[in-house]
Each structure stands twice: as structure tokens, then as C-alpha cells.
Amino acid sequence: MSQISDLLFDTAVAAASLKDFLAGGRLRLGVTGLSRSGKTVFITSLVHHLTRAVAARDAAHGRKNQLPVFRVAAENRLRSAHLDPQPDDAVPRFSYEEHLSALTGVDRHWPQSTRRISELRVTLEYDRKSAGLLSSFRPGPARLDIDIVDYPGEWLLDLPLLEKSYAQWSRETLEAASAAARATIAADWRGATAGIDPLGRASEDDARKLAALFTNYLRSAKTERFALSTLPPGRFLMPGELEGSPALTFAPLPVEEGSAPPSGSLAAMMERRYEAYKTHVVRPFFRDHFARLDRQIVLVDALAALNSGPAAVRDLETALADVLTAFRTGRSNLLSTIFRPKIDRILFAATKADHLHHTSHDRLEAVLRHLTSRAIERAEGVGATIDVIALAAVRATREAIVKHDGEQLAAIVGTPIEGERIGDDVFDGVAEGAIFPGELPADPRHVFRGDALALAEEDADFRFLKFRPPIASLGRDKEPLPLPHIRLDRAMEFLFGDRLG
């Protein structure tokens, strides 16, 4: 039965891939990342820069190009970009206009984070760089449809579950919850689990109680204080239409690996629901979306993990290594493009680079490269091209030199969100503040030892402030121009610049 299911799965993927290939001039870009990594802001800023590139260029009047590394724009070959109806009618549309209004409106604020899968198509029309053989048969400007697939980071780590039995997942989850970084927040759930006989009679009340306590543990682990990452199943925190269903009413139990629990037992019921979760949630998600991606960007809020300490950093490293096991990485060729596309380019991006002075950007990249080294080694081994960058899709701060106690110090300046504080000072959301960011270590291995930030005071509680988006400038049409960024153009060039030659 499993072989038949796999064959049907592969056939469905091949059919969808063939359909995409025949459409021509199309690239499917996956945008993902763990919670609060900035996926919504990244997509909104990317699309805004593309669709307003010509207006931004005209408004600059010869001043610095906002996308100097994105060659098709820097060479003035990008004629236009516009939104088109997305190809997948059953997938919600990414709320681009709503998110853009949040970023650029009078009451500017960061948009709501991703809570479901969504899609958006942006169509680029451009001039080819040189007249080749293909150009003689297709005169005029070329066209590329970029289908951007956005999905919650909480769903990312579900994909490795496809290869794990209920017993294996239970063992790994219980072991992780016993670690020092998790033991306190997992105490109620672990205590309830210890008082249950897995081989006893199945009880819906027991299942619901354990699932609720398990979900509370997962939710606590995601808070800024702990910033833990390896927390599948992802739909427990974002259940959507599945809330209250049996497929989301299970929890780990200490069961023996390699043997089936007795029929009618609590363990048997939990195992059945775990398998239903994989069948009805994880596998369709993989089949309909992951298996059709051409390029992938993985956004990482490394600063949040650094703030929370070495345990969160180690957890993030494990999560990033697990993520790559789900992607079909590898160098694409004609047959794979038609029947089984592979992700041939993956970009790991450390977000919120604007929270650091530019002198620490290289160190932030080095930290992320160190965290992803296992994942990168695996992906590069099968032919995928990997890059690591530090970026800010929207730059909320600017840099300045500030005098402090007779010294000139490098600072970042921005408008902290109302309620943010430094010591006894509480910001009102209107006044700007000059912040002295900590320095990341020259040796990225130090982030595992707890001295990630070199602080002036040894016992300082150094947490990065949250800033409001900057005020948008208006073009001649009175519409907002793209907001400033850090290395968004480099991300564009890596992810699809080669398709615009």
C-alpha cells in the first residue's frame, strides 16, 4: 500500500511539474522561515521594489540606484513589473496591498505575520542583455512570471515527520523536553504524561488533556524569552480549519519503538492520529507546494536566538539542519525541470540586519553560515547553489556617530515602537532613539558559549529594540516609493537574476 501511495504521489508531482514547464517563462520561489523571521515584510518589500522600480529610478534624478546589485534594474533593462492572477486557484492570495498599506500608511506599522499558505504572481518584462539565437525567434521584451509561495515557518519542521514513526517522534520530543532549556515550561505536560498509562484504554478526555498541555508547552517555547525552534507539529500553533479535529488531538507518549501498541489503547489512538496528521496535513502540503519549488529563501531571525542564549542558538542550528532534509535540492536539468523539479538555489538570510551597525553585518553572516553549515554541506553535496547573507527587507534605522561621555560611538537611529524601553526610559512611538548595538563575536563559535554580544556591562540585559517602519517617500503619482533596505537587491540577483539575462 505504501508503494502504491508513493507512486501516486510521484505521478501527481510529475503532472504538476509538466504543467508548469509547458507554461514556460515561470519560476516558483518559496519564501519560508521560522516564526517572526520577516517573511511577510520580505515579500511585500520585494514586490514593491519590483513594481515601482521605474518610478523609483525616475524619482532618484540620477542619485544612487536603490537596487545596484540587481543587474536587470541597474542596467535599466527592467521595463516593468506588475501583479497577475496567481495560477493556483485553491491557494489564498498573498495580501500584498494590505501589507503595503501597513508599512507605508500614516499609522505605519509592521504587517501581521504569516498564518497560512498564500501565493502571489509578479510578472517582469525586461530587455534581454544580448541578442542570442533564441532572441531572433522571440523578438521584443522578454517576460518572467515569478510565483511567490509564502508559508508559515511553524509548518517547516513538519516535513521530517514523514520519515518518522510515532514512537520515534515521541522519543525525540520527550527527550528534548527534558533538556534544561525546556524542562520548566514542559513540566505540566510531562507530569500529566507520566501519570498516564500509554497501554491503557483509549480515552478522548485523556487525549484532549495531553494535547492541550502539549500545545501550551509549544506555545511557551516560541516566546521571545526562549526563542526555541524545533517544535513540530507546526499546525498545533496555527490550526486554522483543523482546530479541534482528531488529527490535531494527539501528543507524544513513551512507547516502544518497533512494535505496534495494543488495539484500543491510548497509544494506538495517538499513533493513528499522528499518522492521520502526516497523511492529511503534511504530505499534501509537501506534494502541492514544496515538490514544485525551483528556488528557496530561508529567512532566519538569528538575533532573537542570540538574545535568548546558547540553548536557543543550538536549537536553531538543529532546526535549520532539519529543514533541508525536506527540500528536493539538486542541480536542475531538462528532465528534472519537466517531471521532478529540484531546488537548485537556496538562500539563507539573517534578517533584521538594520538592528546592527554595518560593521557587524559580516559577523552576522558568519554566525548564520556557522549555524547552517550542516544544512549547506548536505545541499551542496547534491549540486544546489547556496548563499548566506545578512539583510533587512525594510531598513527601519539609519547609522550615526553619537558622542557619549566624551567618546564618539557608532549608533543606529530609529523610532522605537511605543512601549519599548531601555532601562527606565520608555519610548512613545513618536520620538527617535539612538541605540548603541552590541558587537557580534569575531569567532561565530562563541555564540554557543553565551558570550554572543560584547557588552559594556557584564550583567546587562541587552535585547534589540523593535523599531517602527520608516516614513515612505512619495513619487510623482503620490504613491509610496519603495522603502530603504539592506541587501534586498543581492537576494533578488541570487534568487532569479540569472533568469533575466
In tens, the pLDDT along 390-424 reads 999 999 999 998 887 778 888 899 999 999 888 78
Q: What was the pLDDT predicted at 459?
A: 37
209 pLDDT band (50/70/90 cuts)? very high
Better-scored residue on pLDDT, 62 or 271: 271
Query: How many beta carbons lie within 10 A of that of residue 11, not counting itself?
Result: 11
Q: What was the pLDDT predicted at 330?
A: 44
Concatenated DSSP letters of 427-493? --SSS-EEE-PPBPPSSGGGGGTT--SB-SSTT----PPPBPPPPPPB-TTSSBPPPP-BSHHHHHH
120-176 confidence digits (pLDDT tens): 999 999 998 765 554 444 546 899 999 999 987 777 778 888 889 999 999 999 998
460 pLDDT band (50/70/90 cuts)? very low
Which segments of the chain belong to CATH 3.40.50.300?
Answer: 2-151+289-395+479-500
pLDDT surpassing 50 at residue 339:
no
Spatial separation of the C-alpha atoms in residues 360 and 350, rounded to whole Å: 12
Over residues 108-126, the mean pLDDT reads 91
Q: Alpha-carbon dihedral of residues 84, 87, 88, 93, nearest 10 degrees?
A: -10
List of residues 6+ apart from 482 with CB closer than 8 A:
45, 48, 49, 52, 53, 56, 66
pLDDT surpassing 90 at residue 453:
no
**Strand 425-426 and strand 421-422: pairing?**
antiparallel
Q: What is the mean pLDDT of the chain?
A: 83
Spatial separation of the C-alpha atoms in residues 96 and 48, rounded to whole Å: 9
What superfamily would CATH give domain 2-151+289-395+479-500? P-loop containing nucleotide triphosphate hydrolases (3.40.50.300)
Q: What was the pLDDT predicted at 108?
A: 95
194 pLDDT band (50/70/90 cuts)? very high
pTM: 0.85
111 pLDDT band (50/70/90 cuts)? very high
